[in-house]
């Protein structure tokens, strides 16, 4: 998919502020500071479209970006910055909860996990929830540039070899270098294609 246009549409603080057209939506979830907004900027090759910050928890609304006039990328509020006994529900907030649970236009979710640290307890809960939700989802390992290639491979092996996430696919990504961008765009194109036919999606993207 080639990006020909990307624009910020709305920061929704409730579902009634979400766009009312029927364009498919792909949401980006993950703990605060994991790199959601940076990833969106890299995807659309616009440095400052999505607001990024080194202060965790900056994105507090559902930020909608319309891409190629055929889909929305939705930057979700980060969860789990506050340490301690927060359950996922409280940590991610009502807004995200409702959105993931009930948004009709939501086609797929990208869950971001820091390549260096691996999944937190809240990430694991999020995966359980995404499995239950039944929509396609993908795990993206962010900030891949912060690890050497051998260390990154080791991390991926760790993810793949044990525990409850071993059946899932992992895509390393770096907002700094663009690693993973093409693969992620391809996945997004597939999950947002009207009829699941890749041909049609490609045609529309031009």
Ligand X SMILES: Nc1nc2c(ncn2[C@@H]2O[C@H](COP(=O)(O)OP(=O)(O)OP(=O)(O)O)[C@@H](O)[C@H]2O)c(=O)[nH]1
Q: Which residues bind Mg ion (CB under 5 A)?
A: 36-37, 59
Contact status, residue 200 vs residue 193, Cβ threshold 8 Å:
yes
CB of 159 to Mg ion, least distance (A): 23
Helix (H) or strand (E) run with residue 157 in it: helix 149-161
SS3 call for 164: helix
Which residue, 37 or 142, is less far from Mg ion as judged by CB? Answer: 37
Judged by beta carbon distances under 5 to 8 A according to partner kind, the member of Mg ion, ligand X, none in contact with residue 57 is ligand X
CB of 175 to ligand X, least distance (A): 4
Interface positions with ligand X (CB under 6 A): 30, 32-38, 52-54, 56-59, 78, 142-143, 145-146, 174-176
Which residue, 11 or 118, is less far from Mg ion as judged by CB? Answer: 11
Helices (H), 70-148: 88-102, 121-133
Position of tokens 């979830």? Answer: 29
Which residue, 59 or 68, is less far from Mg ion as judged by CB? Answer: 59
Position of tokens 């912060």? Answer: 146
The bridge status of strand 106-114 relative to strand 71-75 is: unpaired
- Cα separation, 29 vs 126, in Å, equals 9
Nearest-CB residue for ligand X:
78
CB of 17 to Mg ion, least distance (A): 18
CB of 46 to ligand X, least distance (A): 13
């Amino acid at each position: 998919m080639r990006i020909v246009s990307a624009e910020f549409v709305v920061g929704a603080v409730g579902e009634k502020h979400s766009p009312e057209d029927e364009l498919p939506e792909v949401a980006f979830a993950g703990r605060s500071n994991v790199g959601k907004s940076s990833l969106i900027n890299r995807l659309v090759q616009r440095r400052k479209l999505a607001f990024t910050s080194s202060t965790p928890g900056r994105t507090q609304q559902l930020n909608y970006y319309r891409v190629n006039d055929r889909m929305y990328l939705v930057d979700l509020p980060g969860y789990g910055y506050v340490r301690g006994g927060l359950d996922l529900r409280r940590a991610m907030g009502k807004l995200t909860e409702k959105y993931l649970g009930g948004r009709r236009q939501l086609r797929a979710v990208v869950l971001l996990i820091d390549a260096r640290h691996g999944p937190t307890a809240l990430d694991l809960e999020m995966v359980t929830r995404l499995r239950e939700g039944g929509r396609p989802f993908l795990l993206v390992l962010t900030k891949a540039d912060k690890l050497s290639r051998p260390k990154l491979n080791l991390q991926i092996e760790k993810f793949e070899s044990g525990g409850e996430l071993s059946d899932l696919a992992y895509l390393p990504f770096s907002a700094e270098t663009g690693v993973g961008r093409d693969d992620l765009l391809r996945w997004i194109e597939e999950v947002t294609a009207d009829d699941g036919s890749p041909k049609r999606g490609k045609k529309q993207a031009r």
